[in-house]
Amino acid sequence: MDVPPPIAPHSTRFMDQVRGLIRQRGLAYQTEKTYVFWIKRFIRFHNRRHPRLMAAAEVEAFLSHLALQANASVATQRVALNALIFLYREFLQTPLDELQYELSRKPARLPTVFSAEEARAVIELLEGVFKLIALIIYGSGLRINEVLRLRIKDVDFAMQQIVVRNGKGAKDRVTLLPDTLIDSLTLQVESTLHLHRADLAQGFGSVYLPNGLARKYPNASVEPGWQYLFPAPMRSVDPRSGVRRRHHLMARTVQKNFKRAIRQAGIHKPGNSHTFRHSFATRLLEAGYDIRTIQKLLGHADVRTTEIYTHVVRKGGFGVHSPVDAMGSCNP
Protein backbone atom coordinates (compact mmCIF):
# COMPACT_ATOMS: atom_id res chain seq x y z
CA MET A 1 0.00 0.00 0.00
CA ASP A 2 2.96 2.37 0.32
CA VAL A 3 4.64 1.52 -3.00
CA PRO A 4 3.61 3.89 -5.84
CA PRO A 5 2.10 2.05 -8.83
CA PRO A 6 3.88 2.60 -12.14
CA ILE A 7 2.59 5.23 -14.54
CA ALA A 8 2.40 4.27 -18.21
CA PRO A 9 5.11 6.08 -20.21
CA HIS A 10 3.83 9.07 -22.18
CA SER A 11 0.34 8.65 -20.72
CA THR A 12 -2.07 11.40 -21.77
CA ARG A 13 -4.51 10.69 -18.94
CA PHE A 14 -5.05 13.78 -16.84
CA MET A 15 -4.60 12.14 -13.44
CA ASP A 16 -1.52 10.20 -14.62
CA GLN A 17 0.08 13.50 -15.58
CA VAL A 18 -0.81 14.98 -12.18
CA ARG A 19 0.69 11.95 -10.45
CA GLY A 20 3.81 12.29 -12.59
CA LEU A 21 4.36 15.90 -11.51
CA ILE A 22 3.82 14.99 -7.86
CA ARG A 23 6.54 12.35 -8.14
CA GLN A 24 8.88 14.71 -9.97
CA ARG A 25 8.56 17.08 -7.01
CA GLY A 26 9.54 14.23 -4.67
CA LEU A 27 6.38 14.35 -2.57
CA ALA A 28 5.47 11.37 -0.41
CA TYR A 29 3.20 8.69 -1.87
CA GLN A 30 0.66 9.38 0.88
CA THR A 31 0.59 13.03 -0.26
CA GLU A 32 0.06 11.82 -3.82
CA LYS A 33 -2.91 9.68 -2.78
CA THR A 34 -4.38 12.54 -0.75
CA TYR A 35 -4.03 15.11 -3.54
CA VAL A 36 -5.47 12.73 -6.14
CA PHE A 37 -8.45 11.99 -3.88
CA TRP A 38 -9.32 15.67 -3.43
CA ILE A 39 -8.76 16.60 -7.06
CA LYS A 40 -11.10 13.80 -8.16
CA ARG A 41 -13.68 14.86 -5.58
CA PHE A 42 -13.45 18.45 -6.83
CA ILE A 43 -14.00 17.30 -10.44
CA ARG A 44 -16.98 15.11 -9.48
CA PHE A 45 -18.52 17.96 -7.46
CA HIS A 46 -18.59 20.05 -10.65
CA ASN A 47 -20.16 17.27 -12.75
CA ARG A 48 -16.83 16.05 -14.13
CA ARG A 49 -15.87 19.32 -15.79
CA HIS A 50 -12.21 19.53 -16.71
CA PRO A 51 -10.19 21.66 -14.25
CA ARG A 52 -8.84 23.72 -17.17
CA LEU A 53 -12.40 24.95 -17.73
CA MET A 54 -12.75 26.04 -14.09
CA ALA A 55 -11.04 28.62 -11.91
CA ALA A 56 -11.24 30.37 -8.55
CA ALA A 57 -15.05 30.56 -8.47
CA GLU A 58 -15.40 26.79 -8.72
CA VAL A 59 -12.69 26.23 -6.11
CA GLU A 60 -14.45 28.64 -3.73
CA ALA A 61 -17.78 26.86 -4.28
CA PHE A 62 -16.22 23.48 -3.51
CA LEU A 63 -14.44 24.65 -0.36
CA SER A 64 -17.61 26.36 0.88
CA HIS A 65 -19.54 23.14 0.24
CA LEU A 66 -17.08 21.24 2.44
CA ALA A 67 -17.69 23.68 5.29
CA LEU A 68 -21.46 24.18 4.96
CA GLN A 69 -22.84 20.90 3.61
CA ALA A 70 -20.14 18.28 4.18
CA ASN A 71 -19.42 19.46 7.74
CA ALA A 72 -15.69 19.07 7.14
CA SER A 73 -13.22 19.99 9.85
CA VAL A 74 -10.77 22.86 9.54
CA ALA A 75 -7.95 20.39 8.86
CA THR A 76 -9.90 18.56 6.14
CA GLN A 77 -10.79 21.80 4.37
CA ARG A 78 -7.15 22.87 4.53
CA VAL A 79 -5.96 19.61 2.96
CA ALA A 80 -8.46 20.00 0.12
CA LEU A 81 -7.26 23.58 -0.41
CA ASN A 82 -3.62 22.46 -0.57
CA ALA A 83 -4.47 19.83 -3.18
CA LEU A 84 -6.27 22.34 -5.39
CA ILE A 85 -3.55 24.95 -5.02
CA PHE A 86 -1.05 22.34 -6.21
CA LEU A 87 -3.34 21.47 -9.13
CA TYR A 88 -3.73 25.03 -10.37
CA ARG A 89 -0.44 26.65 -9.41
CA GLU A 90 1.97 23.78 -10.03
CA PHE A 91 0.26 21.60 -12.64
CA LEU A 92 -2.00 23.91 -14.65
CA GLN A 93 0.33 26.91 -14.13
CA THR A 94 -2.64 29.18 -13.46
CA PRO A 95 -2.34 30.40 -9.86
CA LEU A 96 -5.61 31.09 -8.10
CA ASP A 97 -6.38 34.64 -7.02
CA GLU A 98 -7.14 35.35 -3.38
CA LEU A 99 -9.94 32.94 -2.57
CA GLN A 100 -13.12 33.93 -0.74
CA TYR A 101 -14.94 30.95 0.75
CA GLU A 102 -16.74 29.85 3.89
CA LEU A 103 -14.28 28.70 6.52
CA SER A 104 -15.06 25.52 8.36
CA ARG A 105 -16.19 26.05 11.93
CA LYS A 106 -15.83 22.43 12.99
CA PRO A 107 -12.94 22.38 15.48
CA ALA A 108 -10.25 19.74 15.46
CA ARG A 109 -10.81 17.01 18.01
CA LEU A 110 -8.49 16.70 20.95
CA PRO A 111 -6.30 13.62 20.56
CA THR A 112 -7.03 10.52 22.62
CA VAL A 113 -4.20 9.83 25.06
CA PHE A 114 -3.37 6.80 27.19
CA SER A 115 -2.38 7.39 30.78
CA ALA A 116 0.98 5.90 31.76
CA GLU A 117 -0.86 3.00 33.43
CA GLU A 118 -3.07 2.38 30.39
CA ALA A 119 -0.11 2.41 28.01
CA ARG A 120 1.72 -0.11 30.18
CA ALA A 121 -1.36 -2.35 30.41
CA VAL A 122 -1.81 -2.44 26.62
CA ILE A 123 1.88 -3.00 25.88
CA GLU A 124 2.11 -5.86 28.38
CA LEU A 125 -0.70 -7.64 26.53
CA LEU A 126 1.18 -7.48 23.22
CA GLU A 127 3.74 -10.05 22.16
CA GLY A 128 6.77 -10.30 19.89
CA VAL A 129 7.26 -7.69 17.19
CA PHE A 130 3.90 -6.08 17.97
CA LYS A 131 5.06 -5.29 21.48
CA LEU A 132 8.34 -3.86 20.17
CA ILE A 133 6.51 -1.72 17.61
CA ALA A 134 4.25 -0.30 20.33
CA LEU A 135 7.29 0.45 22.49
CA ILE A 136 8.97 2.31 19.61
CA ILE A 137 5.88 4.43 18.94
CA TYR A 138 5.37 5.18 22.64
CA GLY A 139 9.08 5.63 23.31
CA SER A 140 10.13 7.57 20.19
CA GLY A 141 6.95 9.18 18.84
CA LEU A 142 6.91 7.60 15.38
CA ARG A 143 3.83 7.12 13.23
CA ILE A 144 2.88 3.50 12.51
CA ASN A 145 4.02 3.63 8.87
CA GLU A 146 7.27 5.31 9.87
CA VAL A 147 8.03 2.36 12.15
CA LEU A 148 7.11 -0.24 9.56
CA ARG A 149 9.24 1.43 6.87
CA LEU A 150 12.34 1.52 9.05
CA ARG A 151 15.35 -0.17 7.45
CA ILE A 152 18.11 -1.74 9.51
CA LYS A 153 20.43 1.15 8.65
CA ASP A 154 17.96 3.64 10.17
CA VAL A 155 18.56 2.39 13.71
CA ASP A 156 21.78 4.11 14.80
CA PHE A 157 22.96 2.34 17.95
CA ALA A 158 26.22 4.31 18.12
CA MET A 159 24.43 7.69 18.18
CA GLN A 160 21.44 6.18 20.02
CA GLN A 161 18.92 7.60 17.60
CA ILE A 162 16.37 6.50 15.02
CA VAL A 163 16.39 8.17 11.61
CA VAL A 164 12.97 8.54 10.02
CA ARG A 165 13.28 8.66 6.24
CA ASN A 166 10.70 10.32 4.03
CA GLY A 167 8.22 10.93 6.84
CA LYS A 168 5.08 13.01 6.51
CA GLY A 169 5.76 15.92 4.20
CA ALA A 170 8.56 13.88 2.54
CA LYS A 171 10.97 15.01 5.26
CA ASP A 172 13.68 13.16 7.15
CA ARG A 173 14.11 13.63 10.88
CA VAL A 174 15.90 12.16 13.87
CA THR A 175 14.29 10.99 17.09
CA LEU A 176 15.54 9.29 20.22
CA LEU A 177 16.34 5.60 20.68
CA PRO A 178 15.27 4.71 24.25
CA ASP A 179 17.88 2.97 26.41
CA THR A 180 15.49 0.18 27.31
CA LEU A 181 14.90 -0.76 23.67
CA ILE A 182 18.53 -1.23 22.64
CA ASP A 183 18.69 -4.93 23.54
CA SER A 184 15.31 -5.70 21.94
CA LEU A 185 16.18 -3.82 18.76
CA THR A 186 19.55 -5.57 18.58
CA LEU A 187 17.77 -8.93 18.71
CA GLN A 188 15.27 -7.75 16.08
CA VAL A 189 18.12 -6.77 13.74
CA GLU A 190 19.75 -10.17 14.24
CA SER A 191 16.46 -11.94 13.56
CA THR A 192 15.85 -9.90 10.40
CA LEU A 193 19.36 -10.58 9.09
CA HIS A 194 18.94 -14.31 9.76
CA LEU A 195 15.73 -14.26 7.71
CA HIS A 196 17.46 -12.26 4.99
CA ARG A 197 20.28 -14.80 4.72
CA ALA A 198 17.70 -17.57 4.36
CA ASP A 199 15.97 -15.62 1.57
CA LEU A 200 19.28 -15.12 -0.24
CA ALA A 201 20.05 -18.85 0.00
CA GLN A 202 16.72 -19.55 -1.74
CA GLY A 203 17.40 -17.07 -4.53
CA PHE A 204 15.42 -14.16 -3.10
CA GLY A 205 16.44 -11.41 -0.64
CA SER A 206 15.84 -8.34 -2.79
CA VAL A 207 13.82 -5.58 -1.10
CA TYR A 208 11.84 -2.69 -2.58
CA LEU A 209 13.83 0.54 -2.94
CA PRO A 210 12.15 3.95 -3.36
CA ASN A 211 12.68 6.78 -5.82
CA GLY A 212 14.67 4.90 -8.45
CA LEU A 213 17.44 3.87 -6.05
CA ALA A 214 17.37 0.35 -7.50
CA ARG A 215 18.56 1.73 -10.83
CA LYS A 216 21.20 3.96 -9.28
CA TYR A 217 22.50 1.29 -6.87
CA PRO A 218 21.75 -2.13 -8.45
CA ASN A 219 23.11 -4.13 -5.51
CA ALA A 220 21.58 -2.07 -2.70
CA SER A 221 18.34 -4.07 -2.64
CA VAL A 222 20.12 -7.16 -1.27
CA GLU A 223 22.40 -5.35 1.17
CA PRO A 224 21.66 -5.99 4.87
CA GLY A 225 21.27 -2.33 5.78
CA TRP A 226 18.40 -1.81 3.33
CA GLN A 227 16.26 -4.66 4.67
CA TYR A 228 13.08 -3.73 6.50
CA LEU A 229 13.49 -3.90 10.27
CA PHE A 230 10.06 -5.52 10.58
CA PRO A 231 9.76 -7.85 7.57
CA ALA A 232 6.56 -9.64 6.66
CA PRO A 233 6.43 -13.31 7.68
CA MET A 234 5.87 -14.42 4.08
CA ARG A 235 7.25 -13.37 0.72
CA SER A 236 4.70 -12.04 -1.76
CA VAL A 237 4.50 -10.97 -5.38
CA ASP A 238 4.54 -7.22 -5.83
CA PRO A 239 1.54 -6.65 -8.16
CA ARG A 240 3.20 -3.53 -9.57
CA SER A 241 6.44 -5.15 -10.67
CA GLY A 242 5.72 -8.90 -10.56
CA VAL A 243 8.80 -9.44 -8.37
CA ARG A 244 8.50 -11.89 -5.46
CA ARG A 245 10.13 -10.41 -2.40
CA ARG A 246 9.62 -9.73 1.29
CA HIS A 247 7.92 -6.44 2.16
CA HIS A 248 7.42 -5.03 5.65
CA LEU A 249 4.58 -5.92 8.01
CA MET A 250 1.23 -4.45 7.01
CA ALA A 251 -0.16 -1.65 9.16
CA ARG A 252 -3.59 -3.28 9.37
CA THR A 253 -2.02 -6.40 10.91
CA VAL A 254 -0.36 -4.31 13.61
CA GLN A 255 -3.50 -2.27 14.25
CA LYS A 256 -5.55 -5.45 14.63
CA ASN A 257 -3.21 -6.65 17.39
CA PHE A 258 -3.28 -3.23 19.07
CA LYS A 259 -7.09 -3.13 19.04
CA ARG A 260 -7.27 -6.58 20.60
CA ALA A 261 -4.86 -5.62 23.39
CA ILE A 262 -6.77 -2.40 24.10
CA ARG A 263 -10.00 -4.37 24.51
CA GLN A 264 -8.31 -6.97 26.71
CA ALA A 265 -6.90 -4.17 28.91
CA GLY A 266 -10.46 -3.00 29.58
CA ILE A 267 -9.84 0.44 28.07
CA HIS A 268 -13.02 1.91 26.62
CA LYS A 269 -11.63 5.06 25.01
CA PRO A 270 -10.99 4.79 21.25
CA GLY A 271 -7.36 3.88 20.72
CA ASN A 272 -4.93 2.68 18.07
CA SER A 273 -1.26 3.02 17.18
CA HIS A 274 -1.55 6.81 16.95
CA THR A 275 -2.76 6.94 20.55
CA PHE A 276 0.72 5.79 21.61
CA ARG A 277 2.22 8.67 19.58
CA HIS A 278 -0.15 11.15 21.24
CA SER A 279 0.79 9.67 24.61
CA PHE A 280 4.52 10.07 23.83
CA ALA A 281 4.04 13.80 23.22
CA THR A 282 1.86 14.20 26.32
CA ARG A 283 4.39 12.46 28.59
CA LEU A 284 7.15 14.78 27.32
CA LEU A 285 5.02 17.84 28.01
CA GLU A 286 4.20 16.56 31.49
CA ALA A 287 7.93 16.12 32.08
CA GLY A 288 8.54 19.78 31.21
CA TYR A 289 10.25 19.42 27.82
CA ASP A 290 10.19 22.40 25.45
CA ILE A 291 7.37 22.45 22.88
CA ARG A 292 9.85 23.12 20.04
CA THR A 293 11.86 20.02 20.96
CA ILE A 294 8.70 17.92 20.95
CA GLN A 295 7.75 19.43 17.58
CA LYS A 296 11.04 18.29 16.06
CA LEU A 297 10.80 14.80 17.53
CA LEU A 298 7.27 14.39 16.18
CA GLY A 299 8.11 15.87 12.78
CA HIS A 300 5.39 18.53 12.84
CA ALA A 301 5.86 21.26 10.23
CA ASP A 302 3.94 23.80 12.34
CA VAL A 303 4.30 24.17 16.09
CA ARG A 304 0.55 24.86 16.29
CA THR A 305 -0.02 21.18 15.54
CA THR A 306 2.14 20.25 18.53
CA GLU A 307 0.44 22.80 20.78
CA ILE A 308 -2.79 20.79 20.78
CA TYR A 309 -1.14 18.50 23.34
CA THR A 310 -0.98 21.39 25.79
CA HIS A 311 -4.78 21.35 25.80
CA VAL A 312 -4.75 17.63 26.54
CA VAL A 313 -2.42 18.14 29.50
CA ARG A 314 -4.51 20.99 30.88
CA LYS A 315 -7.67 18.96 30.40
CA GLY A 316 -6.11 16.30 32.58
CA GLY A 317 -5.71 18.77 35.44
CA PHE A 318 -2.21 20.20 35.01
CA GLY A 319 -1.81 20.33 38.77
CA VAL A 320 -5.14 22.08 39.41
CA HIS A 321 -7.23 20.81 42.34
CA SER A 322 -11.00 20.73 41.90
CA PRO A 323 -13.10 22.57 44.51
CA VAL A 324 -15.13 19.37 44.89
CA ASP A 325 -12.01 17.63 46.21
CA ALA A 326 -11.74 20.24 48.95
CA MET A 327 -15.14 19.24 50.29
CA GLY A 328 -13.78 15.96 51.58
CA SER A 329 -15.94 12.84 51.62
CA CYS A 330 -19.20 13.75 49.94
CA ASN A 331 -20.08 10.86 47.66
CA PRO A 332 -23.25 11.20 45.56
SS3 178: coil
Q: Going along the chain, which residue ranges are E strands?
A: 155-156, 161-164, 173-176, 236-237, 244-245
Amino acid found at 204: F
Which residue among the candidates 29, 88, 138, 309 is catalytic per the annotation?
A: 309
Q: Which residues pair with 237 in a beta bridge?
A: 244
Question: For this structure, is 19 an active site residue?
Answer: no
**Cα 179 to Cα 170: distance, rounded to the nearest angstrom:** 28
From the list 40, 131, 274, 296, the catalytic residue is: 274
Answer whether 133's CB lies under 8 Å from 147's CB: yes
Catalytic residue (one of 149, 247, 277, 278):
277
DSSP single-letter state for residue 26: T
293 phi and psi, to 5 degrees? -65, -45
Choosing from 168, 235, 259, 260, the catalytic residue is 168
What's CA 287's distance to the chain center, in Å? 25
Q: Is 277 a residue of the active site?
A: yes
From CA 58, how far away is CA 39, in angstroms rounded?
Answer: 12
Cα–Cα nearest to 46, from 58, 60, 31, 56: 58
143 is catalytic: yes
Dump the DSSP string for 172-195: -EEEE--GGGHHHHHHHHHHHHHH
- Residues 143, 151, 245, 247: which is the catalytic one? 143
**Residues involved in catalysis:** 143, 168, 274, 277, 300, 309
